[in-house]
């Protein structure tokens, strides 16, 4: 158990899920110290990290030197939990291990390794490595497979009278916009859709329109440059019969939205064919389409959802995820 354990938690900000993880660890009795993986979450810094992290090398080094100075003054940690590790320097981890040799170090990846090469350089400093991406666990034997989670709010979600048959909420990237809009066009006559496309900034939007062929048809009026808050998302999901998800083409792991559909007891339409390998897959609950198809079987959302077993449902909860990631017996 985590009662009384001291945890150093380093994670990027990702739609406030890091706050949910922090809150859950604290709720289980742990003393948690949190630092963001990135030196800043400004649009500019996030963009430069993705474009060429070396541009920020000195800033990242100074940021982690500051963290190291702070943690050296502590009595140490029982666990280091690192999520993604997009910017963390391997040198920081080396010094951390030298300073706290008894600390158990754990890394979790919610993105594919091909999108986060820095993680590979960090592997030697971790006792336990897990990923949501099954293909990465097949390529790297040291990585254990562990899908993502749903937060408790979905478990406690009060179901409202359906206002929407199908709901899509997500970041506008790759071919997502075009595929979802084709889905609405082809199936909108007999179904009610809710769509919400998020883009972090107008600069990023215009840049993609200029340089990304898949973004040429994305209409600005269909894009929001501010996120829905958690309660807004929960309200929309509670009024929906089914959730629509299209994963990034460079990912094979199941998205957070997919697991949240499970947590909310909602049907799912997804382009991720790997979902048939998961223990909660039920063709009555989950419709798999490819990226060239946008035809939904008539009445799919309107038929009853079949609940999964209690054991499987608990497995995909945040607490179930945390127990497995932290290897809590």
Q: What is the pLDDT of residues 233-277, one digit of tens each?
A: 999 999 999 999 998 888 899 999 999 999 999 999 999 999 999
SS3 of residue 265 by DSSP: coil
For residue 172, is pLDDT > 80?
Answer: yes
Domain boundary among 146, 167, 197: 146
Q: Using CA atoms, how far apart are residues 262 and 25, in angstroms rounded to an integer?
A: 22
Domain boundary among 146, 163, 194: 146
320 domain residue, yes or no: no
Tokens 């897990």 correspond to what residue? Answer: 130
User: In this structure, are residues 17 and 150 in contact, taking their beta carbons and an 8 Å threshold?
Assistant: no
**Owning domain of residue 307:** 152-315
User: In this structure, are residues 129 and 113 in contact, taking their beta carbons and an 8 Å threshold?
Assistant: no
Quick: pLDDT tens for 198-235: 998 888 898 888 888 888 889 999 999 999 999 999 99
**121 shares its domain with 190:** no
Q: Using CA atoms, how far apart are residues 308 and 267, in angstroms rounded to an integer?
A: 12
Q: Using CA atoms, how far apart are residues 189 and 187, in angstroms rounded to an integer?
A: 6
Domain boundary among 121, 146, 171: 146
- The strands making up 286-288's β-sheet, listed across from edge to edge, are 223-224, 193-198, 164-171, 240-245, 267-270, 286-288
DSSP H helical ranges for the chain: 17-27, 43-52, 57-72, 90-99, 118-122, 134-139, 152-155, 176-187, 202-211, 230-238, 256-264, 310-315, 318-325
* Mean pLDDT value across residues 80-101: 97
């Amino acid at each position: 158990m985590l009662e009384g354990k001291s945890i150093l938690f380093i994670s990027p900000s990702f739609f406030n899920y890091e706050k949910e993880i922090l809150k859950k660890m604290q709720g289980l009795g742990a003393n948690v110290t949190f630092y963001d993986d990135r030196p800043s979450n400004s649009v500019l810094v996030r963009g430069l990290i993705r474009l060429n992290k070396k541009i920020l090398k000195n800033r990242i080094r100074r940021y982690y030197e500051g963290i190291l100075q702070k943690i050296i003054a502590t009595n140490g940690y029982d666990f280091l939990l690192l999520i993604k590790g997009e910017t963390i320097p391997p040198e920081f981890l080396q010094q951390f291990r030298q300073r706290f040799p008894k600390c158990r170090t754990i890394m979790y990846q919610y993105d594919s390794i091909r999108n986060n090469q820095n993680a590979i350089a960090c592997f030697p400093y971790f006792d336990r490595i897990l990923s949501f991406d099954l293909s990465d666990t097949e390529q790297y034997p040291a990585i254990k497979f562990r899908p993502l989670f749903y937060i408790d709010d979905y478990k406690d979600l009060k179901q409202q009278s359906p206002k929407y048959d199908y709901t899509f909420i997500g970041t506008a990237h790759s071919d997502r916009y075009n595929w979802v809009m084709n889905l609405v066009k082809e199936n909108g006559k007999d179904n009610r859709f809710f769509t919400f496309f998020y883009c972090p900034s107008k600069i990023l939007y215009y840049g993609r329109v200029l340089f990304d062929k898949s973004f040429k048809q994305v209409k600005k009026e269909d894009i929001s440059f501010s996120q829905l808050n958690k309660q807004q998302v929960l309200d929309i999901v509670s009024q929906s019969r089914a959730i629509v998800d299209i994963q990034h083409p460079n990912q094979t792991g199941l998205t957070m939205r997919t697991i949240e559909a499970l947590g909310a007891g909602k049907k799912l339409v997804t382009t991720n064919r790997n979902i048939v390998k998961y223990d909660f897959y039920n063709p009555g609950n989950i419709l798999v389409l490819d990226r060239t198809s946008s035809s939904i079987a008539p009445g799919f959302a309107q038929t009853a959802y079949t609940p999964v077993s209690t054991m499987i449902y608990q497995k995909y909860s945040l607490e179930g995820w945390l127990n497995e990631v932290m290897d809590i017996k």
